[in-house]
């Protein structure tokens, strides 16, 4: 969602660019409701768009795909579980659960069917855009000679995260929670199995054992929160879904990002935290190290005691913590910007300015 919202914001700005304006103004954007809620009215006024519910089987889903598009269609991100009728189909892809073995055990029948359909849709694209070279290699391996043309366009920090004003309602809720905790760590996420949410009570318990009352700030939907155990809810403060504009407040009013995910393509949260000067405590996995390098403090996402030790040591060694934070800000400062990403994505759609190796 954040990539699509960022693409729209940057596309709206490009309407003022003499070289890009004719292309962007001729492009029609179809948005999901969640993306539409995360872009400003100013952006929506500058681009041709329609808000559509893209649930498979819904009338708008079927009618939209029966309508023949102009020449090319770019999906950010797929799969759609359908094929738009157009001459050239392109899809951004970050569906790691369909091309990697499940880190949480054998998936059920429904998940296996979904993954199979996702891979079939991959093969039907004229080009696929991923965010890392590792993801490109994995897609090519899984499709075994049937992979479409692959492009790599790295993730970037949404410019609105960097410019967002402090959200006082969010800050107030976190401030109240801080009165009951020694440490508050943020984990903005939905409730997917690979997000490893059940790990949080174990870490909180280990921190309590060494005298630190820690809590976790999460951003779950009401139904996701209700599914969680009492032990989970006892150590977490749920803000509900937050907008892109609120992410900065969530991270900056916490004591750090806690990121125990087991599998990702390229999550935005560590990048956003580094850009904002927020400490990162993360899974010792290649998909995080590729993004954060030496700017994060790492732990085994299955070892609660070790994770608690890493967090405790991080906050009791402020010099080391500051060194990592500064390294993260330097790292993000050298990375492509949201505008760079948008131009690369749109160039792929328009068939100009190759993005390979960007």
Q: What pLDDT digit, counting tens, does each position of 158-210 carry?
A: 999 999 999 999 999 999 999 999 999 999 999 999 999 999 999 999 999 99
Q: State the Cα–Cα distance between residues 81 and 47, nearest whole angstrom.
A: 26
Q: What would the mean pLDDT of 116-121 be, rounded to a whole number?
A: 90
- 150-176 as b/e: b if 16+ CB within 10 A: bbbbbbbbbbbbeebeebeebeebbee
Give residue 60's pLDDT band: very low, low, confident or very high (50, 70, 90): low
- What's the mean pLDDT when you consider all of the chain? 89
Q: State the Cα–Cα distance between residues 49 and 90, nearest whole angstrom.
A: 18
Task: Please tell me whether residues 252 and 128 are part of one structural domain.
Answer: no
Most confidently modeled range among 73-87, 105-119, 177-191: 177-191
Task: Please tell me whether residues 44 and 133 are part of one structural domain.
Answer: yes
Q: For residue 284, what are its two tokens?
A: 């010792």
Task: Please tell me whether residues 208 and 128 are part of one structural domain.
Answer: no
Give rounded-to-5 percent helix, strand, coil for the chain.
Answer: 50, 15, 35
Residue 102: give the domain boundaries: 2-156+336-350
Write down the pLDDT at residue 69.
53
The helix/strand/coil state of 149 is strand
Q: Which residues pair with 72 in a beta bridge?
A: 88
Task: Please tell me whether residues 74 and 222 are part of one structural domain.
Answer: no
In a domain, 228, yes or no: yes
User: Which is nearest to 340 in space by CA: 1, 96, 13?
Assistant: 13
**Domain total of the chain:** 2
In a domain, 192, yes or no: yes
Q: What would the mean pLDDT of 266-283 be, rounded to a whole number?
A: 95
Distance, C-alpha 56 to centroid of its chain: 22
Name, in order, each residue with C-beta under 8 angstroms of 184's C-beta and a sequence gap of 6 or more.
Answer: 174, 177, 178, 214, 215, 216, 217, 237, 254, 255
Residue-wise pLDDT for 284-317, tens only, equals: 999 999 999 999 999 999 999 999 999 999 999 9
The helix/strand/coil state of 258 is strand
In a domain, 357, yes or no: no
Number of CB atoms found within 10 A of residue 60's CB: 14
């Amino acid at each position: 969602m954040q990539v699509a919202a960022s693409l729209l914001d940057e596309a709206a700005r490009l309407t003022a660019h003499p070289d890009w304006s004719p292309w962007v103004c001729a492009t029609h954007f179809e948005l999901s409701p969640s993306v539409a809620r995360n872009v400003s009215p100013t952006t929506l006024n500058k681009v041709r768009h329609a808000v559509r519910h893209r649930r498979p089987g819904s009338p708008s889903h079927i009618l939209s795909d029966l309508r023949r598009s102009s020449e090319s269609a770019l999906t950010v991100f797929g799969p759609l579980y359908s094929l738009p009728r157009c001459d050239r189909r392109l899809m951004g892809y970050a569906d790691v659960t369909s091309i990697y073995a499940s880190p949480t055990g054998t998936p059920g029948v429904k998940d296996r069917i979904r993954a199979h359909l996702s891979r079939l849709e991959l093969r039907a694209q004229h080009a696929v855009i991923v965010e890392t070279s590792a993801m490109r290699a994995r897609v090519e391996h899984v499709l075994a000679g049937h992979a479409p043309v692959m492009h790599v366009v790295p993730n970037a920090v949404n410019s609105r995260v960097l410019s967002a004003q402090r959200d006082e309602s969010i800050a107030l809720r976190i401030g109240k929670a801080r009165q009951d905790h020694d440490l508050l760590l943020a984990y903005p996420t939905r409730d997917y199995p690979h997000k490893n949410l059940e790990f949080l009570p174990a870490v909180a318990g280990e921190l309590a054992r060494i005298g630190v009352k820690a809590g976790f700030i999460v951003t779950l939907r009401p139904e996701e929160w209700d599914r969680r155990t009492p032990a989970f809810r006892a150590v977490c403060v749920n803000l509900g879904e937050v907008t892109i504009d609120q992410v900065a407040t969530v991270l900056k009013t916490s004591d750090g990002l806690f990121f125990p995910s087991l599998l990702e393509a390229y999550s935005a949260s560590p990048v956003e935290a580094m850009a904002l000067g927020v400490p990162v405590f993360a899974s010792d996995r290649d998909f995080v190290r590729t993004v954060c390098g030496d700017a994060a403090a790492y732990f085994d996402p299955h070892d609660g005691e070790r994770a608690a030790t890493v967090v405790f040591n991080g906050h009791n060694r402020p010099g080391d913590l500051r060194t990592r934070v500064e390294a993260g800000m330097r790292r993000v400062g050298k990375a492509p910007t949201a505008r760079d990403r948008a131009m690369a994505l749109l160039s792929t759609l328009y068939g100009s300015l190759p993005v390979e190796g960007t």
